[in-house]
Amino acid sequence: MKRLFSRNFLTPMCLSHSRTIRWPYYLAFVSSTLILFYFTRLHLAETNSQQIYDANVFQQHSSEKRHFSSPSAEKRVKRILFWTTYFDWKDFEFGMGQEPFVRAGCRVNNCMTTNDRRFLNDSDALLFHPINYDPVNDVPPHRNPRQRYVFLFYEAETSGRIYPVFQHSATHKGFFNWTMTYRRDSDVHSSEPYGILRRRKNMTSPSIYNLDTLPIKLAPGKLPPNPSIFLENIMMNNNESTNNSFVKKKTKKIAWFLSKCWTQSRRENFFRRLFDFYPSIDVYGECGSKGLDCLPWKSLECDQLLADYKFYIAAENSLCPDYVTEKFYRALQVGTVPIVYGGADYSAYAPPYSFIHAADFRSPKALADYLILLDQNPNLYARYFEWNKDWMVDRQPFDGWCDLCEKLNNDPEVSKSYEDIGKWWFDDVPCLPRSSVKNQSSQN
């Protein structure tokens, strides 16, 4: 039988039919791919938009957080270079970097510290501790006019003339721009090694204990009030009861931690006479006669030992203005009444009835009589702890570092300089010379 269709004829027809059948599948595949691609792009766009939104929100939140924590967060970082050490401490007992300013709670904290001298050109301030500074062989090789050279010193004036920076003051005229010391006339007042009193948030009697209303110093020629007037005022309230139960727990009278047996202030002469009238005094250290000691003196164990005494002799080794050291703040913190002997105006440092000033008494015997009175009258003695309701002791304040950072942020382009740092430190506000106190021990 003759074939109606040849193989050649059937082949194209079959191929054509096959292609016709496959075209819908192909179109469906392409369409699905395009749709999938479209939704994928849409999803990626939405995801990217969300990420951008999240990033903006995070950035805004971070900015708000930085703004809340510090008004200076957006300012340029101020670099403070420790050109010397502070005794053996490379970080000046403060710390390195920006973290110390944050940790100290500084209102302005965009400052950082370093001792890397490669940052000399980029530093805003250089700190010099005169005990560790060599003014002959270790002067900075060059100086940027915008930099501030800071004189940092916490020692008493009478112990400083031997340091080279004062002996070479002629070659260092105008060298220092700022001072950072315990003296309140410093450019940056700092009490870091010693202490400070802070108002409590729930202060109950600001009209009485507000230091801003107390006289900073007595008028020329005016003497401190006579102790007899002071005694009359507090004896009027002798019948008041007290809730200070810890007062009754004290078993010892007077303590004195003494490391130097001979001092510029002649404190040893004054208190040697006090021993004659008040023998219940325990002297710790090599200067005592009872073999008492407590080492290390700045330990918690010694604090606990001191807390068992009613009084503590906080006598400074130098009679210098504003020189109030850790002796004073240590006694306040552990709950012992400090008997102060120094050249500072203590009324500017602590509220009334928080300390007893030896200078308020006409003789060591008068002081001894008053201590005996307090010892025999618990209610009178308890008056010396009422200040605790409104104040607390900070024995390592960093306020000076915060003030330094803030001062660098508000520094004018034109800065002052000290023509003679030795004159400012020794002569402008001199310490009381030894000759002025040498006869006090002979008084009765």
Q: Where are the alpha helices (DSSP H) in 350-434?
A: 364-376, 378-382, 399-409, 421-422
pLDDT band at residue 55 under the 50/70/90 scheme: very low
Structure tokens at 126: 């250089």
User: In the block, which residue shows the tokens 């009193």?
Assistant: 197
pTM tops 0.75, yes or no: no
User: By the 8 A CB rule, do 436 and 230 touch?
Assistant: no
Residue 437 has pLDDT above 50, yes or no: no
User: By the 8 A CB rule, do 387 and 214 touch?
Assistant: no
196-394: CATH class: alpha beta
User: In the block, which residue shows the tokens 């209102």?
Assistant: 107
Instruction: Give CA–CA dist 177/352, Å, rounded.
Output: 36
Q: Where are the domains of the chain?
A: 78-191+412-428, 196-394
Mean pLDDT in residue range 426-444 = 59
- pLDDT for residue 268: 86
Quote the mean pLDDT of the chain: 77
Cβ neighbours of residue 26 closer than 8 Å, sequence gap 6 or more:
none
Cβ neighbours of residue 20 closer than 8 Å, sequence gap 6 or more:
none
Strands in 281-284's sheet, in edge-to-edge order, are: 281-284, 252-257, 309-315, 337-341, 356-357
Q: Which of these ranges, 35-39, 118-122, 395-399, has the smallest mean pLDDT?
A: 35-39
Instruction: Give CA–CA dist 40/63, Å, rounded.
Output: 34
Residue 378 has pLDDT above 90, yes or no: yes
User: In the block, which residue shows the tokens 């015997």?
Assistant: 365
pLDDT band at residue 244 under the 50/70/90 scheme: low
